[in-house]
């Protein structure tokens, strides 16, 4: 399967039109319903296989952000063999009371994994939390970069954004 074939499959599975309010507060007339590609085990496995070579050398832990980053990071971990952490938006108030569940992150090089990036806001917030817990975070990896300022916002925080696909890739296969 080529890069364009994968983009076509993701677009076919998840592209919606209408009026949508994004997490950033922005509105959009097109939306990529990530749960549609994350809920397809065959497609998710292909996505993870294509993301694996993008994992920077020296990465010790993959950290998936609640909620959409969790299935992506789990599938990616199967392809890389790297342990995974599951990062909540806020620490749960019961049980372990942890913000990051799963693999230990303190003192380790951690790659943040997200599904779709628009403004990068949640990655910025979660990276600050992870760094506060001792993680070394220099990059984030996503399935789709909507190319709406996320990369710049992350760069301002010392985080490089790597993406499997961009909005331009998905527009290019729309015809």
The binding site consists of 23, 88-89, 92, 114-122, 146
Helix, strand or coil, per DSSP, at residue 34: helix
Integer-rounded Cα radius of gyration of the chain: 15
Task: Give the annotated binding-site residues for 5-phospho-alpha-D-ribose 1-diphosphate.
Answer: 23, 88-89, 92, 114-122
From the number of C-beta atoms within 10 Å of its C-beta (0-12, 13-18, 19+), residue 29 rates as exposed
Residue with tokens 């954004």: 161
Task: Give the annotated binding-site residues for orotate.
Answer: 118, 146
Angle at 88 between CA 83 and CA 93, to 5 degrees: 120
Tokens read off for 17: 């039109």
Tokens read off for 128: 């600050």
């Amino acid at each position: 399967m080529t890069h364009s074939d994968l983009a076509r499959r993701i677009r076919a599975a998840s592209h919606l039109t209408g009026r949508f309010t994004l997490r950033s507060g922005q509105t959009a007339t097109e939306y990529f319903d990530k749960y549609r590609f994350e809920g397809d085990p065959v497609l998710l496995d292909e996505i993870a296989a294509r993301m694996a070579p993008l994992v920077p050398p020296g990465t010790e832990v993959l950290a998936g952000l609640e909620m959409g980053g969790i299935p992506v990071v789990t599938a990616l971990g199967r392809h890389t063999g790297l342990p995974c952490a599951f990062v909540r938006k806020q620490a749960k108030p019961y049980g372990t009371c942890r913000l990051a569940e799963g693999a230990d992150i303190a003192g380790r090089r951690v790659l943040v994994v997200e599904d779709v990036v628009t403004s990068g806001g949640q990655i910025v917030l979660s990276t600050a939390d992870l760094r506060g817990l001792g993680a070394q975070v220099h990059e984030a990896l996503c399935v789709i970069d909507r190319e709406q300022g996320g990369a710049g916002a992350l760069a301002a925080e010392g985080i490089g954004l790597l993406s499997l696909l961009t909005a331009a890739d998905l527009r290019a296969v729309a015809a």
